[in-house]
Amino acid sequence: MSDMFTAIAKKVKEAYPTIIFPEGTDERIMEAAVRLKKEGILNPVLIGKHQVMEPKASDFGLDISDLEIIDPQDYPDYEELVEAFVERRKGKVTPEQAREILQNPNYFGTMLVYLNKAAGLVSGAIHSTGDTVRPALQIIKTKEGVKKTSGVFVMVKGDQRFIFGDCAINIAPDANDLAETAVEAAKTARVFDIDPKVAMLSFSTKGSAVSPETERVVEATRIAKEKAPELVLDGEFQFDAAFVPLVAEKKAPDSPLKGEANVFIFPSLEAGNIGYKIAQRLGEFEAIGPILQGLNKPVNDLSRGCNAEDVYKLALITAMQGMTE
């Protein structure tokens, strides 16, 4: 495990938070939960039925006897969750509908986080991003001043760490969306001990091309600076002008970034998704995420192609987010 995750695990262990895993029957989830519990880093709580999970764990060669397992049908405070859910949805659901909806493990688990019975939630090993994010948006909701959540990746290679966003959620962000993503990405960077230097990316550097697309990034830069004037943030930048000091010297000599950006905000989801995959596959960076940001409490989405190591690491990140909120 990289030094970064060793340091995160050490910090998380001191707080020993509870993290919810709605997909308790999945082998990868079980394996990661057993490891987290055995190492004493955090308290993993699996959602599912004992009678289903125990035989499966045995088949997987895993001992889950030390893990806390919650079955929504047997949960003693279920009506408390129902009442809180009805109140949170502000008349959009009846108590009868709430009882049915909360049988869904993602909704049930998200309510446990909302009611402070856990610090965060990790899902997505067998569910779509929508299935994971929808309950979070309806129940936990975004922070004050943030209209949309966004998804970033931490790109790690040796001692190098960068934040790429939005690479997961917003297809065609407007200027305000980009600004929100930038400010929240800077906060995410600090979770990983990255001193954020934020570049708003485009195919133009400081007016070298003018189009509605570049003007949107220019406006996003203005809004972001207004929202967080203390940030080292600038745009619009081509990637090389944001990352290579010699190029920055020629293209943007007056910029505070000076070619040392470590948080990169892409102008669209297609650009962000392509960008992180190029860095991952050609640059051999480890892509950790997507990490959801902008929510009142941390909920994170796994890839359905994840392995137990991915689950373990995202649980650590989720716990760390909860500690730094």
* Residue 169 near residue 152 (C-beta atoms within 8 A): no
Instruction: Quote the tokens at residue 319.
Output: 């716990």
Per-residue model confidence (pLDDT) at position 278: 96
Q: Which residue has the tokens 């290579």?
A: 244
Cα–Cα distance list, 204 to 105, 123, 200, 241, 289 (Å): 45, 38, 10, 9, 28
Helix then strand then coil, in percent of the chain rounded to 5, is: 45, 20, 35
Q: Residue 174: name the closest of 218, 207, 239, 226 by CA.
A: 218
Which residues, including other chains, have CB under 8 Å from residue 195's CB and lie 6 or more apart?
189, 262
* Residue 31 near residue 23 (C-beta atoms within 8 A): no
Per-residue model confidence (pLDDT) at position 274: 96
Return the number of other C-beta atoms located less than 10 Å from residue 240's C-beta: 14
Question: Rounded to an integer, what distance in angstroms lies between the CA atom of residue 54 and that of residue 24?
Answer: 10
Question: Rounded to an integer, what distance in angstroms lies between the CA atom of residue 65 and that of residue 20?
Answer: 17
Digit-coded pLDDT (tens) for 228-242: 999 999 999 999 999
Per-residue model confidence (pLDDT) at position 192: 87
Spans of the chain below 50 pLDDT? none
Per-residue model confidence (pLDDT) at position 209: 93
Question: Rounded to an integer, what distance in angstroms lies between the CA atom of residue 156 and that of residue 90?
Answer: 42
Q: Starting from the edge strand earliest in sequence, which strands make up the sheet with 232-237, in order?
A: 232-237, 197-201, 263-265, 160-165, 150-157, 286-293
Digit-coded pLDDT (tens) for 136-185: 999 999 998 889 999 999 999 988 999 999 998 999 999 999 999 999 99
Question: Rounded to an integer, what distance in angstroms lies between the CA atom of residue 43 and that of residue 13?
Answer: 10
Return the number of other C-beta atoms located less than 10 Å from residue 107's C-beta: 22
pTM strictly above 0.75: yes
Q: Is residue 185 within a helix (H) or strand (E), and if so which, with residue range?
A: helix 175-191
Instruction: Quote the tokens at residue 256.
Output: 């505070």
Q: Which residue has the tokens 């600090």?
A: 190
SS3 289: strand
Question: Rounded to an integer, what distance in angstroms lies between the CA atom of residue 32 and that of residue 48?
Answer: 16
Question: Rounded to an integer, what distance in angstroms lies between the CA atom of residue 286 and that of residue 1?
Answer: 12
Per-residue model confidence (pLDDT) at position 229: 96
